[in-house]
Structure 1
Amino acid sequence: MQDGEIIIERRGIAGLVRLNRPRALNSLTLPMIRTIAEALHGFAGDDQVAAVVITGEGERGLCAGGDIRALHESARAGDGLAASFWREEFRLNHQIASYPKPYVALMDGITMGGGVGLSSHGRHRIVTERTRLAMPETGIGYVPDVGATWLLPQASGEAGTWLGLTGLDIGAADAIHAGLADVQIASSRLGEVIDVLSALPRGSASGDVDAVLQALSEPAGESRLSQNAAMIDRAFRFDTVEEILAALAGEEGDFAAETRRVMLTRSPTSLKLALTLLRAGRRSASLAECLGRELGACLQMLDNPDFFEGIRAAVIDKDRNPQWSPASVEAVGAATVERFLKPAEPPLEL
C-alpha cells in the first residue's frame, strides 16, 4: 500500500513501514499516524508476518518529529487538529511499546521528537554512524512528549534529565548509553538488515532478530554522555531548574559550560515543566500513566505563548531568536507550572 506519505509493504516475513516525506525530514502528519497504526494492527494479525521494520525514505533521517508548522496553524485556528494529532500519536507510541511481534526501528540520520516515539519504544532499536537523536522541545517552548517522560528517567544516571532539558542532539554511542537504542549498524548495511530479516523463516521470534542484528553490528565508540556522567549526575540530581543551573555554574570544563549556556536559551517555562514531568515519570508505574500526563500538558500548550513564539522563531520566521515570557527561570512561578498538570479531558484512551 502506498498513500504518498507512507509506504506499506510485505517482504518475506517482514512488514515494512516506510515514512515517505523526505523533503520534510519525514515529519509526521495525522494521516501518517493513522496509516502507521492501521498497518501495525494489520501486521499483528497477519500470520505471514513475523517482524515489522520502520524506516525513513531519503538520505537525511528517519523522522524529525511531528509537523510543528501544522500544529502551530491548528493551535492558531483552534480547529482541534493539534489535540487529535497528540491523542493519536500517543496511542501509536503505546501500540509500539506493547507490540506483540518484533518491531525493528532503523534510526539512521535525524531521529527527533516524534521520531524517537516511533523508534525508542520498539523492541529492536538500530542506530548508525549518521544518527542524530534529540528531544529538542524546550527550544520551541514545548516539552518532551511521545512517552519521553517514561523513557528518559530510565536512562543511566541523570543522562535522561540532561537530554530532556537541554534538547541537544546526540550520536549513536550516546543513544545506546541512554537506553534509547540497542545496537549500531553501519548505514551502508541497513539494506542488508532488511534483506536478512525478510529471509528469516516464518515463526521467527525476537531472539532470532537479535541474532541477526548482533551479527551485523559494529562497536559504537565512546559516549560523550558516559564520559561526562559524573558531572551530569552531580548537576542534574536536583529537582529545581535553579539548582541545576547553579550546580552547572560551579562545574569546571567546556561540557558543563556549554550545557548551562544552552539551557539559558531554552524556554524557562518549558524547562520547569519538563523537569516536573521527568520527575513524575520517574515515579510512574507505566508508559500509559506518563502519556496521559503528557497529553494534559500538551492540551494546555494550546494557550501557552512560548509554544507559539518558539515555533515562530524556529520554523515560521526562522530568526532563531525567541522572546520567552516569562524571560527567566526565576520568574516562572509554581502556579504557572501547575496549570499544565491539569488532566486531559477526555482522558487518553489506550
Structure 2
Amino acid sequence: MRLWELMARFNSFKRTNVILQHLRMSNHTDAAGEVLLERKGCAGVITLNRPKFLNALNLSMVRQIYPQLKKWEQDPETFLIIIKGVGGKAFCAGGDIRAVSEAAKANQKLSQEFFREEYMLNNAIDSCQKPYVALIHGITMGGGVGLSVHGHFRVATEKSLFAMPETAIGLFPDVGGGYFLPRLQGKLGYFLAFTGFRLKGRDVYTAGIATHFVDSEKLSMLEADLLALKSPSKENIADVLDTYHTKSKIDQNKPFILEEHLDKINSWFSANSVEQIIEILQQDGSSFALEQLKAINKMSPTSLKITLRQLMEGSSKTLQEVLTMEYRLSQACMGGHDFHEGVRAVLIDKDQSPKWKPAELKEVTDEDLNNYFKSLGSNDLKF
C-alpha cells in the first residue's frame, strides 16, 4: 500500500473519529448548549441559546441558570449579571409549555417541577444582591417576562415585543404576573392580562415594563461598555444605561399607543367581576372597547376569573406570596381541562379554536374558583 493511500485512509479514519466525537459531544452538550453561562469582564453573562424555539425556557435551562446565579451573587469578582437571548428575534418567547402539557397528561413530574423551579428562579432574580440587567430585545412573553421583569434593569429596543397571552391558552399571567401587573400605572396591567395586548418598542418602556430604551444597533456597544466597567456599583451601571437611553432617538416623541384609552381602561378594569367588565365594554360600544371585548371573549372563562382574582389579591402581596399563590394555580390548571385544550388549539393543531370547559363565565362558580386557590399543604411552594 502506497504512502498516500495510507495517509488518505488515516485522514478518513481521523475525520470519522472527529465526527463521532462531535456527535457524542452534541448529544452531551445539547442541554448544556441551550443556555450559555460565562464570566466576561466584570459580569456574569447568561445567554439563552435556543433561537429555533425563540429561546423558550425549559426545565434544564432553569436548572443551569439558578445555581450559577446564586454562585455569581456570592462571588466578589462578579459585579453584575447580564441576561440576553440569541438570534435577534426573541429574548425569550415564554416557557416550553407544550412539553409541560404533555408531561402533565402523562402524569409525569415535569409539570410540578417546571413551575416550582421556574418560580424559585423568578424569586432569585428579584432578591439578587448583584445588579441584574436584562436585554429584552425581540419577543419577551410569559416565562421571558419572568426572567427579566424582576431584575433591577430591563433594556428594551425598538424590536421589543411584550405580551402576557396566557388567558388564550387556559392559563393565567404567571411568573409573578400577580405581583408586577397590578403595580403598573392605573389598571394597565389588568388590561394587558385580560386581552394579551402586545406592546412594542418604546411602549414597553413607557408602560413601565422596561427601565431603559436603547436603539438595537447600539446594544452590543452597550454590553461592551458594561463589561468594561471596573468594580462598578449599581449607580455606575445605571449611569451607563442612562447615557445610552438619553441618546436614543427612535420613536422619542411618539405617544404611548394606549395613551388616549388609559382613562377608559382604568374605569373598565375597576369593576369587581369579569361579567361586569364585559358588560361595561358592551355599554361603551366604541371601536376600541369592542375590539377588546372580542379578544376577551376568545379567552378561557376559567382563566379570566382566575386572573382577575390573582391580580386583585396580588396587588397587596409580596412577590413570594404571589409566587406561592401562582404555584397553587399552576397545579390546578395542570389538572384541569382548559390549559391542555389551549395548548392543543394554539400550539399543536393550530386551529386557534379551543373548546373551553366550562364555555360560559356564569358556569365558573365561586366554588370552582376557590378550589384553584386552595393550599397544596406540604406541596406548597416554599422559599
- TM-score class normalised by the smaller sequence: over 0.9
- What letter corresponds to residue 354 of structure 2 in structure 1? P
2:162 counterpart residue number: 133
Show the counterpart of 2:4: none
Shift of 1:263: 0.2
3-state SS of the aligned residue for 2:101?
Answer: helix
Asked if the contact 2:157–2:202 (Cα under 8 Å) also holds between the matched residues in 1, the reply is: no
Query: Which region of structure 1 is more displaced relative to structure 2, 214-223 or 116-125?
Result: 214-223
Structure 1 residue runs without a partner (length 5+): none
Q: Match of 1:223, SS?
A: coil
Indicate conservation of the 8 Å contact 1:173/1:222, yes or no.
Answer: no
CA contact (8 A) 1:108 1:127 kept: yes
The aligned runs of 1:155-166 (5 Å cut-off) are 155-166=184-195
Deviation at 1:188, TM superposition (A): 1.1
Counterpart Cα distance in 1 of 2:101 and 2:189: 27
Alpha-carbon offset, residue 252 of structure 1: 4.6
CA offsets 1:271-316 (integer angstroms, 9 cap, x no match):
01110111000122x1000000000011111211111100000111
Q: Tell me which amino acid in the other structure corresponds to 1:313.
A: A
Alpha-carbon distance in 2 for matches of 1:97, 1:273: 24
TM-score norm. by structure 1 comes to 0.96
1:39 is matched with which residue?
68
Deviations 1:193-214 (A, max 9, x none): 1100001111x11111111111
- Whether 2:45 is the aligned partner of 1:16: answer yes
Q: How does 1:173-184 map to 2 (within 5 A)?
A: 173-184=202-213
Identity of aligned residues (%): 39
1:318 paired residue among 350, 371, 374: 350
- Cα–Cα, structure 1 residues 37 and 220, in superposed 2: closer, same or farther, change >3 Å? farther
Question: Which of the residues 105, 111, 114 maps onto 2:143?
Answer: 114
Q: Which residue of 1 aligns with 2:240?
A: 212
Q: Secondary structure at the match of 2:335?
A: coil
Q: 1:46 & 1:227 partners in 2: Cα distance?
A: 48
Cα pair distance change 1:220/1:104, threshold 3 Å:
farther
User: What is the aligned partner in structure 2 of residue 235 from structure 1?
Assistant: 268
Q: AA paired with 1:86?
A: F
When Rg is computed on C-alpha atoms for both structures, the one with the higher figure is: 2
Partner of 2:134: 105
Deviations 1:143-167 (A, max 9, x none): 1110110000101000000011111
Kindly state the Cα deviation for residue 176 of structure 1 after the two structures are TM-superposed: 2.6
Task: Quote how far apart the aligned CAs of 1:247 are.
Answer: 1.0
Amino acid at match of 1:131: S
Report how far residue 220 of structure 1 moved: 7.4
Q: Which moved more, 1:332-341 or 1:1-10?
A: 1-10
Aligned to 1:256: 289
Structure 2 counterpart of 1:289, one-letter code? E
Q: 1:224 is paired with a residue of what secondary structure?
A: coil
Instruction: Say whether the 8 Å CA contact 1:184–1:220 is kept in structure 2.
Output: no
Structure 2 matches for 1:263-342, cutoff 5 A?
Answer: 263-284=296-317, 286-342=318-374
> Residue type matched to 2:148 in 1?
S
Q: Which residue of 1 aligns with 2:21?
A: none
Q: Is this contact kept in 2: 1:196–1:212, CA < 8 A?
A: yes
Q: 1:283 aligns to what SS in structure 2?
A: coil
* CA 42–220 in structure 1, closer or farther in 2 if over 3 Å, else same: farther
Structure 2 runs not aligned, ≥5 long? 1-28
Counterpart secondary structure, 1:157: coil
Matched AA of 1:244: I
Counterpart position of 1:64? 93
Which segments of structure 1 move beyond 4 Å, counting only runs of 4 or more?
none
Deviation at 1:250, TM superposition (A): 2.0
Verify: 1:222 aligned to 2:255, yes or no. Answer: yes
How many pairs are equivalent? 348
Residue identity in the other structure for 2:59:
L
Please report the RMSD computed on the Cα atoms of aligned residues, expressed in angstroms: 1.4
